[in-house]
Amino acid sequence: MIPKKIVIFISGRGSNMEKILQNSRDGILKGICEPVLVFSNKSTAPGLHIARRFHVPTAVIESKGKKREEFDRQVLELLKEYQPDYIVLAGFMRILSPVLIRAYKQRIINIHPADTDRFQGVGAYRWAFENHLKETKITVHFVDEGVDTGPVIAKRAVDLRGAGSLEEIEKRGLAVEHIFYSEALKKVFSENN
Ligand code: GAR
């Protein structure tokens, strides 16, 4: 199998990105995908430093103050240079417009820290906390033109029993995300040869 070329989009911390980079180098994604670029819409995203440590090229196009379509056209232009098979969103906190979504139809994947049937948008762990959920779910899905509405690839449960704070919920959720995202990506990349 030829490894799938992926570009990872981040906006901040980049802990999911880090796991994907690790797994592509010497874990379950080795030989399955090759991260060719880490892209951020924010130059201050701490995850960019992590990407550089992995010797993965990085690029930034600031999104602040730009119209969605204008920003997405610039991103599309940048991506021409890298020709990725897939775009992997990992904490990318900006809604994509049809400009990008149509150009990469069924080839943009996102991780959402809730069941997308129950909660869409930002603040998913806070929602789980405020609603005293005993369990939440993480969803990995293809991105369509809605917000967190695209075809589901897989969901995984997070046990929240006894989690008394938002911090604890985030900690448990992220621990699941870090394993689950790479597994879901492996499934997609292996099935689409
Ligand atoms: C993760 O919890 C991810 O699921 C979430 O942001 C966090 C990013 O953390 N994404 C969304 O909420 C997307 N709507 P990270 O930068 O450490 O991977």
**What does pLDDT average to over the chain?**
97
Atom from ligand 1 closest to the CA of residue 18: 18
Q: Residue 1: its pLDDT value, please? A: 87
The residue extents of the domains of the chain are 4-191
Ligand 1 centre from 15 Cα, in Å?
8
99 pLDDT exceeds 90? yes
Atom from ligand 1 closest to the CA of residue 170: 2
Active site residues: 112
CB 17 within 8 Å of CB 50: yes
| Cα separation values, 63 from 66, 70, 73, 173, Å | 6, 9, 11, 28
Q: Residue 91: its pLDDT value, please? A: 98
105 pLDDT exceeds 90? yes
Q: Residue 106: its pLDDT value, please? A: 96
**What CATH code is assigned to 4-191?**
3.40.50.170
